[in-house]
Amino acid sequence: MTDFPYEHHDYDVLIIGAGGAGLRAAIEAKQRGLKVGIITKSLLGKAHTVMAEGGMAAAMGNVSDEDNWMVHFRDTMRGGKFLNNNRMAELHAKESPDRVWELEQWGALFDRTKDGKILQRDFGGHRYARLAHVGDRTGLELIRTLQQKVVSMHTDVFMECKVLKLVHDDAGRIAGCVAYWRPSGEFVTFSAKAVIIATGGVGKSWKFTSNSWEGTGDGHAMALWAGAKLIDMECIQFHPTGMVWPLSVRGLLVTEGVRGDGGVLRNSEGQRFMFNYVADMFRAETAETEEEGDKWYDDHAAGRRPPELLPRDEVARAINTEVKAGRGTPHGGVYLDIATRRSAEFIRRRLPSMYHQFMELAGVDITRESMEIGPTCHYIMGGVQVDADSAATIVPGLFAAGEAAGGLHGANRLGGNSLSDLVVFGRRAGMGAADYIEAGIGPSSFDLGEVETAVAEALAPFERTEGENPYDIQRDLQEMMQANVGIIRTGPDLEEAKVKLDEFIVRVKNIAVKGGRAYNPGWNLATDLPSMLTVSRSTATAALLRRESRGGHTREDFPKADPEFAKFNFALSSEGGSWDSPINATESPLLPMPNELKALLEEAN
Does position 460 interact with another protein (CB under 8 A)? The reply is no
Q: Measuring CA to CA, which residue among 216, 212, 172 is closest to residue 393?
A: 172
Spatial distance between the Cα atoms of 396 and 22, rounded to a whole number of angstroms: 19
Nearer to another protein, 505 or 512 (CB): 512
Of 107, 492, 576, 594, the one binding another protein by CB under 8 A: 107
Of 68, 469, 578, 588, the one binding another protein by CB under 8 A: 469
Of 105, 465, 595, 605, the one binding another protein by CB under 8 A: 105
Contacts of 85 (CB under 8 A, 6+ apart): 388, 407, 408, 410, 590, 591
Does position 57 interact with another protein (CB under 8 A)? The reply is no
Q: Measuring CA to CA, which residue among 93, 71, 135 is closest to residue 421?
A: 93
Q: Are 488 and 320 in contact (CB under 8 A)?
A: yes
Q: Measuring CA to CA, which residue among 204, 178, 173 is closest to residue 398?
A: 173
Nearer to another protein, 137 or 409 (CB): 137
Bridge partner list, 264: 337
Nearer to another protein, 115 or 280 (CB): 115
Min dist. Cβ of residue 255 to another protein (A): 11
Site for another protein in 525-564 (CB under 8 A): 525
Amino acid letter, 100: V
Does position 365 interact with another protein (CB under 8 A)? The reply is no
Does position 346 interact with another protein (CB under 8 A)? The reply is no
Min dist. Cβ of residue 48 to another protein (A): 7
- Catalytic-residue membership of 239: yes
Of 2, 33, 66, 109, the one binding another protein by CB under 8 A: 109
Spatial distance between the Cα atoms of 459 and 448, rounded to a whole number of angstroms: 16
Amino acid letter, 594: P
Residue among 259, 312, 550, 555 flagged as catalytic: 259
Centre a 10 Å sphere on the Cβ of residue 340 and count the other Cβ atoms it contains.
12
Element (H, E) at 90: helix 86-105
In a 13 Å sphere around the CA of 359, the CA atoms on its Cβ side amount to: 12
Q: Measuring CA to CA, which residue among 169, 159, 209, 173 is closest to residue 16?
A: 159
Centre a 10 Å sphere on the Cβ of residue 35 and count the other Cβ atoms it contains.
17
Min dist. Cβ of residue 303 to another protein (A): 27
Site for another protein in 14-53 (CB under 8 A): 42-48, 50-51
Does position 332 interact with another protein (CB under 8 A)? The reply is no
Does position 94 interact with another protein (CB under 8 A)? The reply is no
Nearer to another protein, 107 or 270 (CB): 107
Does position 154 interact with another protein (CB under 8 A)? The reply is yes
Does position 151 interact with another protein (CB under 8 A)? The reply is yes
Of 187, 245, 277, 579, the one binding another protein by CB under 8 A: 245
Contacts of 310 (CB under 8 A, 6+ apart): 124, 125, 274, 277, 278, 279, 282, 286
Min dist. Cβ of residue 110 to another protein (A): 8
Dihedrals φ, ψ of 195, to 5°?
-125, 135
Does position 247 interact with another protein (CB under 8 A)? The reply is yes
Spatial distance between the Cα atoms of 99 and 93, rounded to a whole number of angstroms: 11
Of 7, 8, 68, 111, the one binding another protein by CB under 8 A: 111
Of 131, 166, 252, 487, the one binding another protein by CB under 8 A: 252
Helix (H, G, I), strand (E, B) or coil at 565: helix
Q: Are 23 and 48 in contact (CB under 8 A)?
A: no
For 155-263, where are the E strands, in sequence order? 156-158, 161-168, 174-181, 187-197, 230-231, 236-243
Q: Are 57 and 123 in contact (CB under 8 A)?
A: yes
Does position 117 interact with another protein (CB under 8 A)? The reply is yes
Does position 466 interact with another protein (CB under 8 A)? The reply is no
Spatial distance between the Cα atoms of 253 and 257, rounded to a whole number of angstroms: 11
Does position 514 interact with another protein (CB under 8 A)? The reply is yes
Does position 385 interact with another protein (CB under 8 A)? The reply is no
Of 31, 249, 279, 545, the one binding another protein by CB under 8 A: 249
Does position 499 interact with another protein (CB under 8 A)? The reply is no
- CA distance from start to end of the chain: 61
Nearer to another protein, 26 or 451 (CB): 26
Of 1, 3, 116, 298, the one binding another protein by CB under 8 A: 116
Residue among 239, 317, 409, 550 flagged as catalytic: 239
Q: Measuring CA to CA, which residue among 498, 476, 248 is closest to residue 362?
A: 248
Nearer to another protein, 175 or 258 (CB): 258
In a 13 Å sphere around the CA of 515, the CA atoms on its Cβ side amount to: 12
Nearer to another protein, 242 or 375 (CB): 242
- Catalytic-residue membership of 154: no
Of 66, 104, 290, 503, the one binding another protein by CB under 8 A: 104
Contacts of 372 (CB under 8 A, 6+ apart): 243, 244, 245, 329, 330, 331, 333, 334, 335, 336
Contacts of 572 (CB under 8 A, 6+ apart): 224, 229, 230, 231, 233, 538, 541, 542, 583, 584, 585
Min dist. Cβ of residue 67 to another protein (A): 14
Interface region with another protein, contact rule CB under 8 A, candidates 239-247, 270-278, 389-397, 564-572: 239-247
Does position 101 interact with another protein (CB under 8 A)? The reply is yes
Of 357, 527, 534, 574, the one binding another protein by CB under 8 A: 357
Nearer to another protein, 246 or 594 (CB): 246
Min dist. Cβ of residue 360 to another protein (A): 6
- Binding residues for another protein, rule CB under 8 A, total 69
- Interface residues with another protein (CB under 8 A) are 42-48, 50-51, 60, 101, 104-107, 109-112, 115-118, 134-135, 137, 140-141, 144, 148-149, 151-152, 154, 157, 159, 183, 212-214, 245-249, 252-253, 353, 356-357, 360-362, 469-472, 475, 513-516, 518-523, 525
- Just list the catalytic residues: 239, 259
